[in-house]
Structure 1
Amino acid sequence: MVALIAIHGLGKREVTELLLADLDLARGRLVVHRPGGRHVVHLDELTHRLALAWLRERHRRWPATTNPHLLVRQQTADMATRPPVSSMIVNDVFWSLSVGPSALRQDRILDEARHADPVHLIRVFSISVRTAMDLRLRRPPRTQVHPPAIGAPAQNRVSLASRVRCRHLGAYPDTCSVAIVKGVLVERVQERDP
């Protein structure tokens, strides 16, 4: 779930409404249903591995569930109405990361807006034309992400999504450098001296 929002910029509602049938691991893609039509997300290696691990865990926990949604939990897996997980569950997952899913998605969109044209932003993130044009006009200067020097705080050089990823890895901020480059999460974790 975190990867779908942090890397691919999906919205909270889009994530909760994904169906098992939308995920095609053999082709490495996920179909997202949006008001304007379908959007195909091409999964990077990390998201692909996480999706595979989730499918295994989902089957282990609820082998007999008939809920068609990709994300389920104990209550939704066993309900006859087969609802999706609530947005509150998504918020709970992100609470432990100290950032909300909307803030992480916004950070991802801003990161992409640094080098993408408005049409790309509209297609990938399903944002309005006006928002895409505003992002284009207010495009912040592009910054490079460098591996941090020992003792240098990496959070001064990386985006919010990157800091969340470092925290999620259990790495200290001064030993982890993460960048999102053209939709691919690149991470570098240095071993900390004992």
Structure 2
Amino acid sequence: MVEANRFGQQLFLANLRHARVGQHRGTRRKRTKPPITSPAPTFEAFDHRQLTLFPAFRNLANGAIHGFPAPAEPKMAAFLNQFLIEHARDHGWSLTTTKRTRRGLAIALGLQDTPGAPLLATDLVNLQSIGITSLRLQEVCAAAGLLDDDRESAVDRWFETTVSELPKQIRTELERWYTIMLKGSNTPPRSKPRSETTTRLYLRWSLPALQTWAAAGRTSLREITPEEVRDVLPEAGNPRARMGQGLRCLFRVLKGHRLLFLNPIDRIRTGTHETLLPMPLASAALRDAINSVDPARAALTAIVAFHGLRSGQLRTLQLTDIHDGRLHLGKRTIPLAQPVQDRLFLWLAYREQRWPSTRNPHIFISRRTALDSAPVGVQWITTSMGMTAQRAREDRILNELHASGGDLRRICDMFGLSIAGASRYSTVLPHSGLQRG
């Protein structure tokens, strides 16, 4: 002590240093930094593509074992990753679906021939060989504006396969007709595009005649005469009407665009399609469907059996269309029957339990459409009901027609029919034996 105090003591004012509340002595308080909010990444796709020297086969199975290259364009990868997360949150995707889609997206970006260019749909489809579903990948890329759909359409593949065995000149003429049907024509004679279904039907109905003429040595439709058309047409009935309708459309379009000198079927009568009479359903089949333990089948069948909705109306029904016990269908307001309300309640409860996070606004959804906002397909409606919606609708209209004593105006107002459509049902009215038994 003597040695320590040899030069004196430094005096201090007492109690100048205080420990902060909730903090031990000798420790410093950590300063909280404000959270760093980085702006959402943006990306503009390149407008060029790197040409390949020769097409090479990618062994994706080998990549699944040894790994895939990392994305060569980090900005594009960051943008799509952030967009995918937001898209998955907005559409109620599960964590598993989101993780699988992110993995597939990273693989697709690493395999690009031109990093930074929109992803090719064919490259995304090829990922299915290693167990990655391309549907969600295409959905995200399309929503982000980074999808180049280079796939050949199904109708184009069908057309090429269908006409592949016909002579070259006939194929050329059919290709011209096919293009005008699907895309329309801006030059006289102008025409609007027709649907793929209509184009398929007309070509399918005309195909037997085309094959017969090709087997007889005809190499161009310009060589066909009215006598050859009469020889190839069936005698009567729907087969004659269908082939005549298909050939009439084919020759009329080609003649109008000056690919033919004359229309060989112009003055040949082929008749009209025979109208099938609506028939009632068996009561047992309808009762089993309405009382089914499957909530989708019971709800769908009940709506059609009580209110006669079409399949297209069932597909597009939304959650906001039903309130206060009424169905608001366009300009029509339909008071829902109590059995329909009960089955709709069971379906909506099942829907909420099965897909609690879905953002699809439609009443009826499936395992596939629960992750997006698209309506279900017609095939899903038919499979779920175990019958076509049209059959159940016809049964309901026939029942109402017999109950009202043939009041056509009543069924027009109740089911949205035209007078011409309602008259089709009136032909069945005199046959009392066609009532549902």
TM-score, normalisation: structure 1: 0.63
Give the structure, 1 or 2, with the largest relative contact order (CA under 8 Å, sep 6 or more): 1
Give 1:90's aligned residue: 381
Q: Which runs of 4+ in 1 moved over 4 A?
A: none
The answer to which of 116-125 and 52-61 deviates more is 116-125
In the alignment, which of 71, 77, 82 is matched to residue 370 of structure 2?
77
Residue equivalent to 1:52? 345
Shift of residue 128, structure 1, vs aligned partner:
1.3
Query: Corresponding residue for 2:168?
Result: none
Equivalence for 1:190: none
Aligned with 1:107 (options 391, 395, 402): 395
Matches within 5 A, 1:12-27: 12-24=311-323, 27=324
**Separation of aligned partners in 2, 1:89 and 1:17:** 13
Gap runs ≥5 in structure 1: 144-155, 160-194
Please state which structure has a larger fraction of its residues in strand. 1
Structure that is richer in helix per residue? 2
Q: C-alpha offsets along residues 1-47 of structure 1, whole Å, 9 cap, x if unaligned? A: 111111211011111110000011xx2111123xxxx2222111110
Q: 2:327 aligns with which of 25, 30, 34?
A: 30
Determine if contact 2:321/2:328 at 8 Å carries over to the other structure: yes
Distance (Å, rounded) in 1 between the aligned partners of 2:419 and 2:388:
25
Please say if residues 304 and 310 of structure 2, whose CA atoms lie closer than 8 Å, have aligned partners that are also in contact.
Answer: yes
User: Which residue of 2 is the match for residue 118 of structure 1?
Assistant: 408
CA distance change for structure 1 residues 139 and 158 in 2, over 3 Å: closer, same or farther?
A: closer
Partner of 2:283: none
Cα-Cα RMSD = 2.1
Q: How many angstroms apart in 2 are the aligned matches of 1:59 and 1:113?
A: 38
Contact 1:32 1:39 (C-alpha < 8 Å) held by counterparts: yes
Deviation at 1:141, TM superposition (A): 5.6
Counterpart for residue 422 of structure 2: 132
Cα shift readout 1:172-194 (whole Å, capped 9, x = no counterpart): xxxxxxxxxxxxxxxxxxxxxxx
> Percent of counterpart pairs with the same letter?
27
Residue equivalent to 1:186: none
Q: Distance in 1 between matches of 2:420 and 2:337?
A: 29
Q: What is residue 33 of structure 2 aligned with on the other side?
A: none
Alpha-carbon separation, structure 1, partners of 2:428 and 2:391: 18
- Aligned counterpart, 1:173: none
Q: Does the 8 Å CA contact 2:398/2:435 hold for their aligned counterparts?
A: no
2-structure distance, mates of 1:66, 1:23: 17
Q: Which residue of 2 aligns with 1:3?
A: 302
Q: Which has the higher Rg, Structure 1 or Structure 2?
A: 2
Unaligned runs of 5+ in 2: 1-299
Does the CA contact (< 8 Å) of 1:118 and 1:136 recur in 2?
yes
